[in-house]
Chain A
Amino acid sequence: MTAPAPAPATAPTRGPLLPRDRARHPRPLHPDYKSSVLRAPALPPVAMPSTLSEETGPVFGHGLIGPRDNNLVLNFTGRPAIGPRILVWGRVLDGSGRPVPGVLVEIWQANAGGRYRHPNDGYAAPLDPDFGGCGRTLTAADGVYEFLTVRPGPYPWPNGPNDWRPAHIHVSVFGSGFGQRLITQMYFEGDPLIPRCPIVRTIADPRAVETLVAPLDMSRAIPMDALAYRFDIVLRGRRQTMFETRMEGL
C-alpha cells in the first residue's frame, strides 16, 4: 500500500494564469448601481493568454508591516475604538486550493456607526476619534490572515431613494502575479440588507454572492473578548505544469 503523495505545500508562484470566469464576477454595467453607468467600459476586454507581465507581481516584505497594523481596534490612537469587537480571519488560496503565503491583505471599513474617516463621507453618524478604519497584514505560511476590528455599521448612500449598504469590510489582496489582483467586499452572515443591495446585485450568480458572506465562527471567537467571522479568499489559479503533475503523481 502506498501512501498518497503530499500535495505541494503552497500555491505555485510561476506559470500561466487560468482565465477569469467572468460569469462569477459582477457585470461592469449594472444600471441599478448608478455609478457604473458612466464608468463601465462599453466594449469587452481583449482576451489573451497571460504573459510574464501578469504572471509576476510585487513582493512585500515583513519589514513593511507594523505589529499593530492588523489591529483596527487599537491602530489609530492606541485607545480602543467603539463598537462590537470582532476577529476577521480566513485563508488566501489559489484555484488549486493551496495556500498563498506572504501576500499583502489590506482592509478598510466604516466605524461602528457606519461612518468612514474620509473627506467625502458626510453621513450624520459621528466619527470615532479612536478609529481610523484601515488595516493590513501578510498571509502566514498556511495562507492565514487575521484582523481584530469592530463590526462596521450599515449606512445609507445616494443611489436609489432609500438604499442602504449592508455592513461590509473592503478587502484588497495580492497574489504572486499582478494578474491575480483582487478587491472585494466581505459581508456578515444573516444581514437582511445583503440581498437588497444594488452593489451586491451587480453579481448575477447567487452562489458567487454566498462566497462573500462570512459566517460566524465560534471556533475562533475569543471568550469574553470578540466574536469571529471567517472569510476565505480564492485567487485565480495557475495552469498545472508537467513538472508539478509528475511531482504529484510520484
Chain B
Amino acid sequence: MVRAPDELAETPSQTAGPYVHIGLTPAFIGIAGPYPGDLGRSPVRDGARGERIAVTGRVIDGLGTALRDAVLESWQADAAGLYPGNDPRGPADPGVTGWARLAADGATGLFRLETVKPGRVPFPDGRPMAPHILLWVVARGINIGLATRMYFDDEAEANAACPVLARIAPLERVQTLLARRTAPGEYRFDIVLQGPGETVFFDA
C-alpha cells in the first residue's frame, strides 16, 4: 500500500517462537519468580452482567494435529456491546475487562475461555455486527499473529445480518467462524490454520 510520506512504517512482526510462555504466561510453565501471576487470566470479574459462557477449542495445523504450544488472546465487548477502555461511546460494564490470555494445554492442546457473551457492536456504517470475540493466535511457525473472530451458531439471525460475515466468500467459509453450542453455556471452537476447513483470518 502507499503510505502518506510522513507515515512511519510499522515494525515488522517476528514469530513468538516456541518459548512464548516465558514472556506471556510465565506462571503457566512454572516461572514464579518475577510476577504474582499471569496477566489476562480472566476477561470478567465477579458481578459481570450477561450470560456466562465457556468456549473450549484447539488450534490445528495442516496435518490435523493440535498445537500444544499456541498462545491465544481474546478481546470482546460486554453484554451490552460496549468495549472496556477507550470505547468512544462510553464506559463498559466495570465487571468486564474484555481481554484474556489462553495458553493451549501442553498435553491436549485445548484452550478454554470462560467469559460472558458479548453484545452486538456497530460496524462503521452503523449496522450491527453479530456478537463476536476477537481471537489472536501466536506460536512457533506463525510469523505474524493471526487474527480471527469467533461468532456463535445460536445467533443465526444476527449472523445473517452481520456486515462482516457478509464479506466472506465463499459463504461456506462462515462456518469456520461459528462456535458450536454443545450444552447450555458451553461452546466448541477449533481454529484450523491450514488446509480443508481453514479458518477465516482477517486483515482489519
Contacts and interface: CB of A to CB of B under 8 A. Distances in A.
Contacts of A52: 77, 83, 87, 89, 121-122
17 contacts: A14-B88, A28-B144, A38-B61, A47-B203, A48-B202, A56-B75, A58-B40, A59-B86, A97-B8, A104-B39, A106-B24, A119-B29, A132-B31, A132-B34, A134-B26, A183-B13, A236-B10
A54 B204 contact: yes
Contacts of A118: 18-19, 21-22, 29
Given A116-B22, A199-B15, A237 B8 contact: yes
Given A179-B204, A183-B138, A19 B1 contact: yes
Interface string A68-99: 11000001110000000000000001111100
Contacts of B86: 13-14, 56-57, 59, 176
Interface string A193-209: 00000011011010011
A60 B134 CA distance: 18
Contacts of B53: none
Given A46-B200, A59-B84, A95-B8, A38 B34 contact: no
A13 B88 CA distance: 10
Interface in B137-158: 138-147, 149
A96 B34 CA distance: 34
Q: Is the interface of B mostly helix, strand, loop or mixed?
A: loop
A26 B203 contact: no
A181 B30 CA distance: 26
Nearest to A172: B23
Nearest to A170: B23
Contacts, number: 283
Q: Which of A54, A68, A93, A118 has the most chain B CB within a 10 Å cutoff?
A: A118
A147 B9 CA distance: 24
Given A53-B132, A235-B11, A121 B33 contact: no
Interface size class of B (residues with CB under 8 A): 35 or more
A5 interface: no
B22 A234 contact: no
Contact of A108 (B9, B22, B106, B167): B22
Interface of B: 1, 3, 6-24, 26, 29-31, 33-36, 39-40, 61-63, 65, 67, 69, 73, 75, 77, 83-89, 97-99, 106, 121-124, 129, 132, 134, 136, 138-147, 149, 164, 167-168, 193-195, 198-204
Which has the most chain A C-beta neighbours within 10 Å: B20, B122, B203?
B203
A133 B87 CA distance: 35
The 6 closest A-B pairs by CB, nearest first: A108-B23, A35-B141, A39-B141, A58-B99, A26-B143, A56-B83
A211 B69 contact: no
Contact of B85 (A28, A57, A93, A181): A57
Nearest to B73: A181
A93 B8 CA distance: 9
A12 B127 CA distance: 25
A225 interface: no
A43 B182 CA distance: 29
Given A39-B141, A48-B164, A132-B26, 14 more contacts: A22-B203, A27-B143, A28-B142, A33-B15, A39-B194, A46-B203, A48-B204, A75-B33, A76-B34, A95-B9, A119-B106, A132-B33, A135-B34, A178-B136
A62 interface: no
Nearest to A202: B143
B35 A30 contact: no
A162 interface: no
B134 A178 contact: yes
